[in-house]
Chains A and B, each alone.
Chain A
Amino acid sequence: MKPVSPARSPAAARAARAAGNATGALGAPDLDWAPPAVGTGATTPLWLVGLFGVMLYWATMYLDRNGGGFNPLVFNQGELLADLEARVPRSEADALLAQGRRVYNVYCSACHQPNGRGTPNQFPPVAGSDWVLTEGPNRIIRIVLNGMQGPITVNGNQYNNVMLPWRDQLSDEDIAAVVTFIRGNAEWGNNAGPATPAQVKAIRDATASRSTSWTAQELLGIPVKD
């Protein structure tokens, strides 16, 4: 297809243009083929360019403050990954530790103290305790479930007092969490392994018929680990 017909003189073109294009649509003047005129003299006003620069700067600041460092894990505007990690535990173990801290503060810290050191002659320590830092958590899960009374030696010191049972107050998960927390709490210098809700449930079921508290004597007969 030939787009341009060279035979056409400009004058003929003008006449034909006028004739072929005479339909004034509802008052609209004729449209010839030429595009609307555009001024080429004026440049983009300087103030607009300046303002554009300012707004680009604002945009980068805004993204920096609210974009979460373009990390796909950050969902709240204004947070960075670091804030997020401080607020939300990173793994399941972290989550268990955080839950354990809450349980400890509510149920245990009155006697064993927030710093885990207990009170001399009254309440034995859980920080650095040789009962807590055993290879497995079998014995202390039993202590938390059914309580404890009678003489006990912790780190060479004698205690003879009563700890109440928590079987009905705390769920398997709570107990696993608090046991994991006291065993693994690095702030106290503890670094023993975690306990799982499944372990707690197994022991809870196995000792379901027991109504009395444990004594140190009895517990020492139970293997620390299955």
Chain B
Amino acid sequence: MSSPAPAPPPGAVPPPAAASLAPALPADLDRSCRWPVLVLGGLSAGWLVFAAVLGVLAAIKLHAPGMLANVDWLTYGRVQPAAWNALVFGFGAPAGLALALWLMVRLSGVPLVGTGTILFGAAVWQVGLKLGVLGILAGDSTGIEGLELPRYASPLLLAGYLLIAPWALVVFDRRQPRESYLSQWYLVTALLVFPWCFASGYVLTSFLPLRGVLQAAAQAWYLQQLWVLWFGSLTLATVFYFLPKLTGAAVPSRSLALFGFWTFVVFGGLGGLTRYAGGPFPAWMLSLAVVGNVLTLFAVYAVGANLLPSLHAAVSRLKGNVVLWFLGFALLAWLAASVLTALNSLVTVRHLTHFTLVTPGLDQLALLGGFGLAALGGMYGVVPRLLGRDWPSRFLATLHFGCAAGAVGLLAVAFLIGGLVQGAALNNTDVAFLTVAKRYLPFASTGTLAQLLWLVGSGAFAVNLLWLLVACARTVCVPAARALVEPLPAEGKA
């Protein structure tokens, strides 16, 4: 198969380094990072399915608490955090790292170094996470939301991370076009934020725990860094690469992008405490969180203004382009989640939404809809390039997109509307608590439906990936095996 080298899109400034420096070829670059990206990506696909199974179990228990209630290992208090950690640290972080490595290598024009260390790091991470999730299911959870991994597991994750991520920074440091691209800014942010927030979150709650409500403040801060600065940055890095690249539409303004990036970095991490609005925290913490969430809207605007042209250009190319579907949806979900989060931090709105389904709804919209779809879309784009072979089943990929987008849409709509209904009823003193709980049930069962859809989609992805890997293995192994087998009869004759 051959195709002409793509001409630079009209109106775009040609990248200056293209002609003069002649950086390494894409094929060389891809070869240098093939194994780390494939290993991290493949493992994350497995965890994605596992997390989805646990997620369905947890969702069912919200409206049918009797199911499997007698099995210690599968009670809600264990399944729910196990599902969360499997999704965030099993699927999210490794998939994010895989994309970060690939994007960094691609955009820096420099082959990846340290592959052995990276693979070792991935193994350490996996051991830590398996211990951690088993520990949670066995009842060893720390009991702090988002920081449930037991003490014997969390340091392993950090160690694994520190063996992987620095290599992406090394590649960035050696980049061939010295001028960096937007995605690289967000990648550097994400790569530096994770160890910082993960370590401080766990140290301040498990190892040298803060006292009293300060522990909850540390946890809220950690969740915000993880959600906004880690997953958000990874989402934006991926979307900023693939959308313009696939549609050929230029990002209109570098200065607007810089403005958006800095407002994102400075204000994005401040909003954590709105999660606990009304709780016993010093007033300045909460006020700062409100201000942070509102000012982050500037970053949201800048991202929208810079990417909407690409999305617009994408409309004409959407047909049959699964990667674009995933990334376009991810962009819209991220924008929606950020705007709604800012709205939700305003006192009047919070009065209605506090202690309702709205908070988990927004979390899901950002994690599954924003980061999840961006990472999966990235995988759909990257893996065939690494293996030199297209996805075996277009149907499975289409099915995956349908299920994933449907799941996120259902979850978001059900939890947001359900949350508002719940909030209105909770604020009305004439309505008994049991009535409120009953009104919430249909929304909870819609949540289960959404989790089931997500599971089906994840399964389709895993099968497609496995199929692709097996096909590749066969093209490599069959000739090799034949070469081993065939000389034998010849020898026999002689």
Provide the bound-state CA to CA distance between A60 and B133, in Å.
Answer: 44
A18 adjacent to B244 (CB under 8 Å): no
Q: Does A28 contact B (CB under 8 A)?
A: yes
Q: Would you call the interface of chain A mostly helix, strand, loop, or mixed? A: loop
Flag if B295 contacts A48 (CB, 8 Å): no
- Report the nearest A residue to B397, measured CB to CB: A26
CA distance A19 to B291 in the complex (A): 51
A 1-59 contacts with B by CB, 8 A: 1, 3-6, 8-10, 13-14, 16-45, 48-49, 52, 55-56, 59
Query: Within B3-44, which residues are at the interface with A (CB < 8 Å)?
Result: 3-6, 8-9, 11-15, 18-19, 21-30
**Contact residues in A for B250 (Cβ distance below 8 Å):** 36-39
A37 and B12 contacting across the interface, CB-CB below 8 Å: yes
Interface: A86 (CB within 8 A): no
Contact: A38 with B25, CB < 8 Å?
no
Is A71 an interface position by the 8 A CB rule? yes
Q: Are A38 and B321 in contact (CB under 8 A)?
A: no
Q: Are A33 and B25 in contact (CB under 8 A)?
A: yes
Interface residues on B, range: 35 or more
With a cutoff of 8 Å between Cβ atoms, the chain A residues found around residue B281 in the complex are 75
List CB contacts (< 8 Å) of B148-196 with chain A. 174, 176-177, 181-183
- The closest CB in chain A to the CB of B5 belongs to A14
When the two chains form their complex, are residues B246 and A29 in contact, meaning their CB atoms are under 8 A apart? Answer: yes
Distance of A90 Cα from B263 Cα, bound (Å): 41
- Cα separation A9 to B21 with both chains bound (whole Å): 10
Contact of B11 among A31, A39, A55 (CB under 8 A): A39
**A interface list, Cβ under 8 A from B:** 1, 3-6, 8-10, 13-14, 16-45, 48-49, 52, 55-56, 59, 62-63, 66-79
Cβ of B381: which chain A residues have Cβ within 8 Å of it?
25, 28, 31
Residues on B lying within 8 angstroms of A by beta carbon are 1-6, 8-9, 11-15, 18-19, 21-30, 106-107, 109-111, 113, 174, 176-177, 181-183, 240-241, 244-246, 248, 250-259, 263, 280-284, 286-288, 290-291, 294-295, 298, 301-302, 317, 319-324, 347, 380-381, 383-385, 388-391, 394, 397
Cβ–Cβ < 8 Å partners of A23 in chain B: 384-385, 388-390
Most chain A CB within 10 A, of B5, B107, B111, B113, is at: B5
A4-B22, A74-B282 given; name 7 further pairs at CB < 8 Å: A3-B176, A4-B24, A35-B181, A37-B244, A38-B257, A39-B252, A77-B287
Distance, CA A35 to CA B108, complexed state (A): 9
26 examples of A-B residue contacts, CB within 8 angstroms: A13-B25, A25-B323, A26-B323, A26-B380, A27-B321, A28-B321, A28-B381, A30-B3, A32-B26, A33-B23, A34-B15, A35-B181, A36-B181, A36-B241, A37-B8, A37-B15, A37-B244, A38-B182, A38-B257, A40-B254, A68-B284, A70-B284, A71-B282, A71-B284, A73-B282, A74-B282
With beta carbons under 8 angstroms apart, the residue of A28, A35, A55, A75 that contacts B323 is A28
> Could you tell me if B259 and A44 are in contact, using CB atoms closer than 8 angstroms?
yes
- Tell which of A16, A38, A41, A43 has the most Cβ of chain B within 10 Å: A38
In Å, the complex CA distance between A24 and B380 comes to 11
From A30, A43, A59, B6 is in contact (CB under 8 Å) with: A30
Q: Indicate which residue in B25, B324, B388 contacts A16 across the interface (CB closer than 8 Å).
A: B25
User: B287's contact among A36, A45, A48, A63, by CB below 8 Å, is which?
Assistant: A63
What A residues does B290 contact at CB under 8 A? 62, 66
